[in-house]
Amino acid sequence: MRSGILFDPTLGVLLARKDDDRQLPTIYRLGKLTADDQEAAESDRLLYVAATRAREKLIISGCVTATKDGTPGRLGGWLGRTLAPALRSGASAGVSGEDATGLAGVQVAIEDGDPQPRYLDLTAGASPVACAIYGSGWTWEARPVAAPAQTEVAVSLPPPLLAPIAAEPVGIDGRAAEQERDPGQRVWRVVPATERPRAPAWVIGKLVHAALAAWRFPDDDGAFARWAEAHGRSYGLTDADQLIDAVREGRKLLLRFEAHPLHAEMAGAVRRLHEVPYSLVAGDGRVENGIIDALYLRDGGSADGTWTIVEFKTDHVRDAAALERLLAEEDYLAQAERYAAAVERLLGSRPAVALCLLDYAGGVHVHR
């Protein structure tokens, strides 16, 4: 409840607007009773947990009103909730509530400005109760506690048993780093600034890699387009023209590869694995993690069968000179060598490596 406003899950928002007779609406009073009941139930649960966890002493705060003659009146707070069973049992036995709690005949004359609390020895059933009553004007002041004198004793420590452990360096490739990225890479521009919006190149690359991992290629019934649009939206594309461009470019690259002999070779492989993760300790103690785009086995699966690693790249490459610059700028060849060494260690045979460029001079180029 905030500023006289109640939020009830059943009744909705309730306002404390009084009518001409200064009466609150009935529905508001009903909601207030429900809220009060829930608050009292939660308080009882907290009291139960506190009471059942105590081993030696239980300290309960509460309010005791005083009558005109100085005798205790109504008990409030957790104190009243705790003594309620004693009050009920005492009343059923013909004993007054005050007698049942040990407060009968007790007169507590405390002035508001009384600097000292009044202590009473009472009982709750058969349990002794130490009661301290404070006036409304009493304030608590912390008492200074003298710290015990400590004598510094020189302690001779033994030499360390182990040398400090240095953190192991971890090597991770771009694909593995992208999967662990949190939050994942997304398109944040909602309204394109160009007349003919184009989808970001990295979105097209992720879309093509997702299709190759699922070994899914364009069809005529529109299922691929719907699948590709859903993936584009998951990368953050919201503009319809950008989605169309992403699907169109991805479709073009996939159809090129589907017409290439490498596709037929992979489709007829004995075993074909996609998005293959690996983790191993290199010779220098480095932990190396990576994800291989595709790994397939041909030659009938015999003992001397050949495993082949395929790394797909969607970079736009115009000619041979542009390819040389790309390989010099990027670590594609070094990455392929790391993948080959990892597969050789894990499978026991040296694999072949194919770097498949899907956008090379309007076609597909396989660099082996």
- Where the chain has pLDDT below 70, the residues are 1-4, 15, 66, 68-73, 83-115, 123-126, 135-149, 159-196, 300-304
Whole-number Å distance between alpha carbons of 141 and 139:
7
* Structural domains of the chain in order of their starting residue, each with its CATH number: 5-53 (no CATH), 62-133 (no CATH), 163-368 (3.90.320.10)
pLDDT tens digits, one per residue of 322-335? 888 988 888 888 88
Whole-number Å distance between alpha carbons of 29 and 322:
78
Q: Note the helical H segments in the chain.
A: 26-53, 77-92, 97-101, 174-180, 201-213, 223-234, 240-258, 261-267, 320-329, 332-347
pTM for this one?
0.50
pLDDT at 243: 87
| Element of type H or E holding 352 | strand 352-360
pLDDT tens digits, one per residue of 159-170? 666 666 666 665
